[in-house]
Amino acid sequence: MSARLHRLLRGLLTLAIALAGLAVLPAPARAATPVCALACDTLDPSKAQRDTFPVPQVNLNGRILRLHVSDPDDMAWASIDNGVTGDAVWLDRSWDRGASWDGLLGKASIPGTWTGTRTLMYNLTDPVGHRRGWVRACADAAGVTCTDWVYPKVCDGSFCDGADPATAAGDDRPVPSTTLFGRTISLHVDQKNGMAWGVIGSGGTGDEIWLDRSWDNGATWPEGSSLGRTRVSAGKTSARTAMFATRDPRGLLFGGAVRACGREAAHQEGSCTAWVRPAPSRARGAADALMASYQPYEGWWRSSWWNSAVAVTSLIDFAQRTGRHDYDWVIARTFEQNRGTFPAGVRSSDAVEGHFISRAIDDAAWWGVAWLTAYDYTHERRYLNEAVTIADYVHQYWDTGTCGGGVWWDRERTYKNAVTNGLYLWLTTSLHSRVPGDTVWGGRAATAATWYLNSGLINGSGLVNDGLTGDCRNNGQTVWSYNQGLAIGAFTQLWRSTGKGQYLDTARRLADAATSSTALTRDGVLTESCDTGTNACDDNQKQFKGVFMRHFADLADATGSAAYRTYLTKQADSIWSTDRDSLNRLGQRWAGTAPNQVDWRTQASALGALTAADGR
C-alpha cells in the first residue's frame, strides 16, 4: 500500500469514528497565543515541580493517554505510551469552559523505535490576561480522543464551585437587587469564605437565575458565564443557584468578581446586579484587589519601580499583622524576578544595574526597606543580605562636604531631600538591630539622626518639608505624608534600638504635628495637598499616605497610645465607608471626595492603612 493511500484510509477511518460520535473535536480550534504565568508556555516537563494525574487516563486502541499537571507551576503536559511510530499527542486549552479551544498545543509524534512521547508544558491559567483556562490531553492513534478537562471547578480553601448555599457562613447582600417583569434578582455573598450565589424571587415556572464570574473587574466573563443556571420549578416562585468561588489560588487568580443575573420565562432579555468582590475582612478584600494587578511572570506591578517595592512591603505587612499566608509566594517571586539587570525603560526610566540599584538613590532604598521587611517575616538570610547590599550603596552618597552630611537624592548629587534621608535613617537603624554583632550600622544611624535633627528638614511646626536649598536651608516645599511617616518610623526604630527617650519624643512630636495640622489631616482624615479641590496626585504621590500609615502604626505599637490607635482606625473606617466600590477598589482620597483616582498604587496605599488598623 502506498504511503499516500495509507494516509487517505487513515483519514477516512478517523472521520468515520468522529461521525459515530466517538471523537471529541466538534468545534474548530483557535490559534494559540503564548501565555506566561510563573513560566511561559513550552517549558520542558523535566523542570516540573510535581507530576500528578487529576483526571483519569484514557485507553485509545491500546495506547495510554495521560494528562499531567504540576500545580506549583500551574502548568500541564500530555503523554502517550504503548504506542507506535506516528501516534500523536497534544493539549487543548479552552478559555470559555470548553466551547472552543487553542488546539494542538505542543503536538508531538512518536519517533521511530520509540513507544511513547510527551508534549511540552503549557499554562493552565493566564493571570496577566485575567483568564482561567481548562486543559485536556488529546491523542491521534488510529482514532482521536481526549481526556476530561482538568479543573472545571474553582476551589478556594474548603469550598468549591457547586457548594450548597445552606453551608455558607453568612448571607450578605452587598449590592441592591435588580427587578425584571416583577421578578427580584439578588446576589448573596458568604463574605468569610468568598463564595456567592444568586436568587430569583417573586417569579414563576421556568424563570432562570445564574451567576457570571469575571477575572477582570467585569470587563469579560467567558469562563464564568451562566454559572449554576437554575430554573424555577413548577409550583414554585423562587430558585437559587449553587455557590461559586471568587478566588482561584491554584490558578493565581485573585479578586474575581461575580454578579447575579436572571430571566423571566416568557422573555429573552435578562437583568443583572452590579459586580461584587467579596471581602472576608477589610484588609483581605484590599489585598485581593491589589493582587489582581500583579504580574506573576515579571514579578512586579507593571509601570512603577519604587512603587512596586512599597506594594510588596504592604503585602508583607498584611501577612504579618493578619496571619494570612495567601501571598507569601509573591515575596520570593518579586525578589527572584527583579534582582538582576534591566535596561532603561524596562523596570524604571533608569537602568537597573542589579540588586535593585539604579541612579535614583531613594528608589534603591525603598527596595532595601522591602527586603528588610521580608527578612523579618521569613527569616531568610538572603533578604537581609540584599538589604545590606542596597544600604551600602545608599551610604556611598552620604556626603559631609555639603550641608555637613546627608545622603544625595541622585548620583548627580543635585538635591538633599527628606525622603532619601528618612529612608537612610530607617535602614541604618533597622540594620543595626538585625545584623548580629553590628559595629557599623549603629554608628551610621546615630550620625544620621543627629544630622537629620539639625538639618532644618523639620520646620518650626514639627512638619517635614521636602528638602534643603542649595545653601542648606529648609526649602519650604510641600509637606508630604511619606516624608513625615519615614521620620516617625526612623526615630521610633532608633528608640527601639537605643532606648534613648529623645528619639521617641521626636517621633511623637512629628506624629502629633501630622495629626493636628491641616497640612496633612483634614476632618480627621489623612489628606495630601493633591487630594484637595480639583487637584490630582501623580503616580508617586498616590502611595505616600500608605507609607505614613505603616510608620505611624509602628509608633502606635511602641507607645500603646489610644489616641494614635483611634487615628489609625479613623483612616480605615473612612476608606472602607467612603472610598470603596463594590469591587473593593480603593481610591486616592480617603475622605471619598471627588475627583478621585483609583489604580493599584492607591490600592496598595489604602491596604497599608487597613493593615495598620490591625488588618480587620
Write out pLDDT tens, residues 258-315: 999 999 999 999 999 999 999 999 999 999 999 999 999 999 999 889 999 999 999 9
pLDDT digits (tens, 9 = 90+) for 208-247: 999 999 999 999 999 999 999 999 999 999 999 999 999 9
- Taken in order 532, 533, 538, 542, the sign of the CA dihedral is positive
Distance CA 436, CA 611 (A): 29
Q: Please give the DSSP secondary-structure letter assigned to residue 250.
A: G
- Which residues is 144 bridged to in the sheet? 140
- Taken in order 161, 166, 167, 170, the sign of the CA dihedral is positive
- Yes or no: say if 303 and 349 are a contact pair by the CB < 8 Å rule: no
- Yes or no: say if 179 and 203 are a contact pair by the CB < 8 Å rule: no
pLDDT digits (tens, 9 = 90+) for 556-613: 999 999 999 999 999 999 999 999 999 999 999 999 999 999 999 999 999 999 999 9
pLDDT digits (tens, 9 = 90+) for 91-132: 999 999 999 999 999 999 999 999 999 999 999 999 999 999
Name the pairing type of β-strands 134-140 and 224-231: unpaired
Rounded to 5 degrees, what angle do the CA atoms 325, 326, 331 make?
A: 80
Instruction: Give the global pTM.
Output: 0.92
Distance CA 204, CA 235 (A): 8
Which residue is it, cell 511510530?
85
Grid cell, residue 354, equals 542589579
Whether 11 has a pLDDT exceeding 90, the answer reads no
- Yes or no: say if 603 and 318 are a contact pair by the CB < 8 Å rule: no
Percent residues over pLDDT 90 in the chain: 94
Phi, psi of 364 (to 5 degrees): -60, -40
Beta strands in 497-597 (DSSP E): 521-522, 525-526
Whether 26 has a pLDDT exceeding 60, the answer reads no
**463-494: b or e for each residue (b if 16 or more CB lie within 10 Å)?**
bbbbbbeeeeebbeeebbbbbbbbbbbbbbbb
